[in-house]
Chains A and B, each alone.
Chain A
Amino acid sequence: MSELTYPLARQRPFDPPDELAELRQQAPIHRMTYADGHQGWLVTGYAAARAVLADPRFSNRPERMHPPIPARLDLTKEMREQFRVPPGFFLRMDAPEHTRFRKLLTGQFTVRRMKQLEPRIEEITGACLDRMAASGKPVDLVQAFALPIPSLVICELLGVPYEDRDQFQNDTKVLVNLETKAVDAIAAMQRVSAYLYGLIQRKRAKPDDDLLGGLVESGELNDEELTGVAFLLLVAGHETTANMLGLGTYALLTNPDQLALMRDDPSTVDNGVEELLRYLTIIHLGPVRNALADVEIEGRLIKEGETVTISLGAVNRDPERFPGGDHLDVTRPAGSHLTFGHGIHQCLGQQLARVEMRIGYPALLRRFPGLRLAVPPEEVPMRSDMSIYGVHSLPVTW
């Protein structure tokens, strides 16, 4: 039995746990003991991670997975039925079931479509910064900037009333919290689903000119499937970019030379966003896959039924792919990071996230050239307890 269990505790706020770097030095893939005793695998090497994520012989269906960490262990057999993947939640489906949903949506998230949103995202960002300037200092940058921008954008795009955000923002936090009990996660899932189901019904009765309205109109999906799709897009659309904006700003504030480049050199911004995505890798746990057949990866035989956990944080620091990758360097070619994943599940909303960050960081830094932490760096509360890493809050002044 392997002595290795999944390391989650970070020694420093921006670096993955040190154990992962040590493991990566030894080999790209390791035997690991899962929370239920399963003997599975941990991937820490870049090439191995790409190979697993691109291979259709690895499933993403949750019922096949063994838990890499002891979370939600109160899950009983009866609860498992309630905890199943909602219809339409295509992130956790395999092809060809997954393909049907993805193809319905990809046209809505193209590079061109997302570029067309730029003026509106600039407007939303500007309004947040205006309110922040007027509010007096210090402010919590998460509440004033990092969370509202992507939330407003995804709400408008999907057609979810932003005033209803209390119906899903708190429950999203419950769902991504690694310490949440299964019983509470199920309740949170049911509350958000009930809200979205009601919203879909209203759109069915009175068609709206937004993404969800369009999906309703298309007649391709039933209301349960539409609810699952809406759930996935809403949660994925605000929690992720919000944490990149929060954690990214914190990282820049502690690396003033990098901050200056992002603020003063527009030609650095696009690549700088990729480097922040790579360096910070806010996916704190996983992705996790399960082998549908025996597969050889980097000389190790992964047997059918075995679970593989990929540490994207370790993978994105692999010196074979990113030499000197433990340093933040916004001029480094970082485009091939795996933060958005790889293979058929690569993030659907990644081009939206890019636009939001390419607008967000420089707008913030130019509006408040004197931006700085309002607390000692070690007092910034880190989201070590969440599956999406970041800062719980970021007190700043200027």
Chain B
Amino acid sequence: MKITADTTVCIGAGMCALTVPQIFDQSEDEGTVVVLDETPPAEQEAAVQRAVTLCPSGAISVS
């Protein structure tokens, strides 16, 4: 799994950082998504998928 994030679309709701804090954080200034690990370990994949679904602005995607 590879995570892609688009900070221009991100509205800083924080759902990703709330759901998988090991993989997602928010920047200090704008609160937009920061991906801590673009290729998450297998055991995190389901949680990452949940974060993608919960994201209100479609700012994160996985391939």
Assess A335 versus B30: contact at CB under 8 Å? Given A111-B21, A351-B14.
Answer: no
Complex: A336 Cα to B55 Cα, angstroms: 10
Knowing A111-B21, A344-B57, A351-B18, the reply to whether A106 touches B12 (Cβ < 8 A) is yes
CB of A109 within 8 Å of the partner chain: yes
* Interface contact B12-A344, CB-CB below 8 Å: no
Q: A112 contacts which chain B residues (CB < 8 A)? A: 17, 25-26
Contact A335 B31 (CB under 8 A): no
Residues of A within 8 A of B44 (CB): none
With A103-B30, A335-B19, A335-B50 as contacts: A109 and B11 at CB distance below 8 Å: no
Is residue B43 contacting chain A, with contact meaning CB distance below 8 A?
no
Interface contact B18-A344, CB-CB below 8 Å: no
B7-35, CB < 8 A from A: 11-14, 17-19, 21, 25-32
- Give the docked Cα–Cα distance between A102 and B8 (Å): 12
**Contact in complex: A109, B56 (CB < 8 Å):** no
What chain B residues lie within 8 Å of A54 (beta carbons)?
56-58
Q: Report B-chain residues with C-beta under 8 Å of the C-beta of A354.
A: 18
B26: chain A residues within 8 A (beta carbon): 106-107, 110-112
Evaluate contact between B31 and A110: CB separation under 8 angstroms.
yes
B28 nearest in chain A by CB position: A107
Tell me the smallest distance from the CB of B38 to a CB of chain A, in Å.
20
Q: Does B4 contact A (CB under 8 A)?
A: no
| Contact, CB under 8 Å: B31 / A343 | no
Question: Quick one: which of A106, A335, A336 contacts B11, CB cutoff 8 A?
Answer: A106
Give the CA-CA distance A183 to B17 in the complex, in Å: 43
Interface flags for A312-349 (1: CB within 8 Å of B; 0: not) read 00000000000000000000000110001111101110
Query: Given the known A-B contacts A109-B12, A111-B26, are A336 and B53 also in contact in the complex, defined by CB atoms under 8 Å?
Result: yes
Nearest-neighbour CB distance to chain B for A350, whole angstroms, equals 7
Interchain CB contact under 8 A, A335 and B54 = yes
CB pair B11–A346 under 8 Å, yes or no, is: yes
Q: What A residues does B50 contact at CB under 8 A?
A: 335
Check if A25 is an interface residue, CB within 8 A of chain B.
no
Q: How far is the CA of A354 from the CA of B14 in the complex (A)?
A: 12
Chain A residues whose C-beta falls within 8 Å of the C-beta of B28 in the assembled complex: 107, 110
Bound together, the chains give a CA A343 to CA B50 distance in angstroms of 16
Across the interface, do A107 and B29 meet the contact criterion of CB distance under 8 Å?
Answer: yes
- Asked if A343 contacts B56 (CB within 8 A), the reply is yes
- For residue B25, give the distance in angstroms from its CB to the closest CB of chain A: 7
Let me know if A110 and B12 touch, CB within 8 A.
Answer: yes
Interface flag for A201 (CB, 8 Å): no
Tell me whether A102 and B12 are in contact in the complex, defined as CB-CB below 8 angstroms, given that A108-B31, A110-B17 are known contacts.
yes
| Complex Cα–Cα for A26 and B7 (A) | 39
Query: Given the complex of chains A and B, what is the CA–CA distance between A110 and B50 in angstroms?
Result: 19
Q: A107-B30, A344-B57 are in contact. List 7 more A-B contacts (CB 8 A).
A: A106-B12, A106-B26, A111-B17, A111-B21, A112-B26, A343-B56, A346-B13
* A-B interface, 4 closest residue pairs, ranked by CB to CB distance from nearest: A106-B12, A106-B31, A346-B56, A110-B26
